[in-house]
Amino acid sequence: MQNRLLSDFLKKSDISDILDSALQGRRLGLNDCIRLIKSDDVYSMGLVANTLRQRLYGDTITFINNIILNYTNVCITFCKFCAFYRPPGHEESYTVPVEDIVKRVATSREMFGITQVLIQGGHNPNLKLEYYEDAFRAIKQKCPEVGINGLSPSEVDMIARVERSSTKEVLARLKAAGMDTFAGGGAEILEDRVKQEISPLKIKSHEWLRIMEEAHQLGFKSVATMMYGTVDTEEDRARHIMKIAQLQEKTGGFLVFIPWSFEPNRTEIQAEGKIKYPAGGLLLLKMIAIARIMYYGLIPHLQSSWLTNGIGMAQLALNHGADDFGGTLIGEEVVSATGARSTELTSDRIIAAIKQAGFRVAERDNSYKIIKYH
């Protein structure tokens, strides 16, 4: 009855055929995705995406108690969208020693009960693979119950170049050292025209996808990401979504998709006058809804992206298809470098935000297994 009422309502929409196909569980293609992105009917997309989320998870929304450990800001890729990096030798550059990494994780476990550490940094040519292996082994020895969600394809590529090794061998050694899941950032938009303009020294789209596929072949579960709102077009975003979908159909390795909007503050892109303002909340809700519609039955989880859009928009995202609020992100430095907003939340604030939005709250671990309900 409810589905029939929804279908009747959607008949007025310019994308009613696509939304009806999504409700029927049919796999959608590139042209469908482009039409969704070009449509202004965010309300109908949100209704359908929320219906699909409810089918999967009912009224439960998850979050994780975690920290981000940005181990170095030294970077030689000089991405124009980044306010965090510093070139080698810069007076503000840093690399966190392994003993301090372990100390931060152990203290956070003791104080906050974290179950995940997200480890990401710059492309530092001075760090050998042993640095990462030593850090991961030490974390596992001290805090075996904390999941290590680590690195990105571009960081793995950097390590492989330093070691003159293959990316697959680097991934295998990281797995042996204790890395549990592959964090998978650095995709931005998987279109080389966009990459050439915003991050010309970073790995190309096909290399990101190849390294991600290698990780899946080695048994890693991973994160798929998208950063929109730089010089990308609607078609670029659609092609990005489809490339992720195609890899997922092949490997099944993605646990979650996280879209976020570019924050231009203090970046080279803003200084050049190309992008002055963030993309805004309405586009976030559209991208969240489209992700749930396109990835329904394919990628299980969808994060609400509070980090770049704030708590209020993240709450609305829960009614547009997102089933996970993300993490507490204690210690985050990359987005905070833009000065855009506070980039830490306590678990109490996340729990309150989810409850205010009318949902049941569940705390999860690094593998999306529910630990407890709040």
169 a known binding residue? Answer: no
CA distances to 231, 253, 289, 363 from 241, in Å: 16, 15, 12, 28
81 a known binding residue? Answer: yes
Burial 227-252 (b: 16+ CB within 10 A, else e): bbbbbbeeebbbbbbbbbbebbeebe
CA distances to 61, 216, 348 from 323, in Å: 5, 23, 18
143 a known binding residue? Answer: no
250's CB contacts (< 8 A; 6+ apart) are 213
Structure tokens at 191: 């279109």
The rounded distance, in Å, linking the Cα atoms of 314 and 323 is 11
97's CB contacts (< 8 A; 6+ apart) are none
* Tally: H helices and E strands in the chain: 15, 11
Please report where in the chains the tokens 């003993």 appear, as a residue: 99
DSSP 95: B
Structure tokens at 133: 């292996």
257 a known binding residue? Answer: no
Phi-psi map region of 96: left, alpha, beta (phi>0 left; psi -120 to 50 alpha):
beta
The rounded distance, in Å, linking the Cα atoms of 21 and 27 is 8
206's CB contacts (< 8 A; 6+ apart) are none
82 a known binding residue? Answer: yes
Torsion on CA atoms 152, 156, 161, 165, rounded to nearest 10: -160
Residues annotated in the binding site for S-adenosyl-L-methionine, as ranges? 81, 188
Residues annotated in the binding site for (3R)-3-methyl-D-ornithine, as ranges? 152, 305
Residues annotated in the binding site for [4Fe-4S] cluster, as ranges? 75, 79, 82
Residues annotated in the binding site, as ranges? 75, 79, 81-82, 152, 188, 305
